[in-house]
Structure 1
Amino acid sequence: MTRISLLDLVPVREGDSVATAFANAADLAAYAEQLGYHRYWVAEHHGMPGIASAATAVVLAHIGHATSSIRIGAGGIMLPNHAPLLIAEQFGTLEALFPGRIDLGLGRAPGSDQRVAQAIRRNLSGGADQFPRDVMELQAYFADDDRQSVQATPGAGADIPIWILGSSLYGAQLAAALGLPYAFASHFAPAALDEAIAIYRRDFRPSAKLKYPYVMAGYNVFAADTVEQAQLIATSMQQAFVRLRTGNPGKLQPPVPGYYEELPMQAQAMLADVLSVSSIGTQVDVERDIAAFLRRTQVDELILTGQIFDPAARKHSFAIAMAAAKQAIAQQAGASRETA
């Protein structure tokens, strides 16, 4: 049965504060738990005025105290920014605070530019070649491997699922080689989705952590009671992508009626590409779109996201999305029984 999870970028709204963004995130996580979402993830970003999840482990501690059962985790930690020992200690601490609820997704992109990387004081010269080594070093800290010269305290012996994240074929290949679950960032970089999933499933090697391949995919949802309302709330995220691609990132902007239609054709084409794995509409529309995506990808889990300016509209959107996803999954299960 396909699981449904939620990715929150902890958006900082125009005219609002970081403190309010954290309060909204905790409120959303608690609501997602009530709705039956399986996981709530936040992602590491730096130097982004509109995203408040830079100190990812600290944000997750805040979320953990606002919830009681939903899995919480990083989707993800950008490992090139960190020494593996520090991540083992941070997530070992989270696991001790919230046992059995912590996930750790790892990405190889820095989640920033060179200026931020220098400010973080990490040497990125190792590039892609260093990422697999860092992942395995992190696994060794959690396993309390006595070949490590230092013990991670907390962290040693922690049973924390590690995921490999990606938006290209590289992550699929690494996750398959290490026998780890794989999450594809199709919510903003969908181009290689189908090929990456095929490579991961084809090349997957069972490990002590995972016997069979397990795929999660990102999916944007902007749902409302009418199509017009859904199209309006989607414009905040559309503005965010246009501003990011034109070198002018900022706080999340209020929705603008007719925003997409008034954009130049080049910007419309960019948004159509970046947000092609999305659904904008009512519950009926979202159910149809998610069902089609599940038929196409056969993913084990969908992680829904959607930056929406009004917190109440965002919660309503995720409530509609969960109801639609349940119907789509039931439809998929029914079709499978008919063909069995």
Structure 2
Amino acid sequence: MMDWSSFSFIDLFAGIGGIRLGFESAGGHCVFSSEFDKDACKTYQANFGEYPSGDITKIEAKDIPDFDILLGGFPCQAFSIIGKKEGFENETCGTLFFEIERILREKRPKAFMLENVKNLTAHDKGKTFKIIRKHLEALGYNVYAKVLNALDYGVPQKRERIIIVGFLDDVMFTFPDPIPVSQRKKLADILEEKVDDKYYVKERIKESRLMRLKDPNYPKPYISHENMAGSITPHPYSSCLRAGASANYILINDERRPTEREMLRLQGFPENFKIVVSYGQMKHQTGNSVAVPVISAVAKQMIFSLKQHELNKQL
């Protein structure tokens, strides 16, 4: 019988460790991590004291230590069905989801939590998500999935992500409720007081943005972003941080870029999180990461559900 006050997990597609932080806050300890990107590994090592194992496709499941929960924010890829006769077995072949599947099959952890872009549910007319769900259920897991928005869990960033949770046993699970509005951080709470000149944009960029600002009297502080059509919309929160977008994508008060620390705060990372790479890399890494408070809330809810399940078994 397990009491779940302490548990082990593995951190796949670990990035800079946002999912790890969320599950550590619920009593977990990491026994294995894997990440492909060398710069992300530098940040991970600086903060967790371990350099993640590299490419997961080259790691045998049997070489991974035993663990209770599998975690992974895996990239979204289309699945191709290669000929009729190959069917179910090969549906996920060649995708990174397949790596998660084979590790679950071999290691049979009690639970998992996967994170992906909201679009996963619409991807390939919904086929991609259907295949993922079907494959997880075929391994014997009870699967729950929901799109959660970081804004509802206390960070001033609109970031919608699908969270997929699964349990080997018949665990009853509900996703965590949003936190009260009064407890959510506002933009003013995460902005730095003194900001170096290098973050300020050129005057002409500023003027061009202010000219196109939908509401010139919008109260500061705000964050605006330029959409494909070139219109500038201010909000009291950040639009979704992205790994690949251009440098002028989001601006604070249409005058400067967010600092590295501010980007980390928008994702709910702790103040003592170390920054050891360049601005461009930090932008890429925070854009690829997760909103930590969302993951913490899910982790705590998962552990609560697992504890309840253990208690019910004893009755």
TM range (shorter): 0.3 to 0.5
TM-score under structure 2 length normalisation = 0.35
Instruction: Return the index of the structure with the highest Cα Rg.
Output: 2
TM-score under structure 1 length normalisation = 0.34
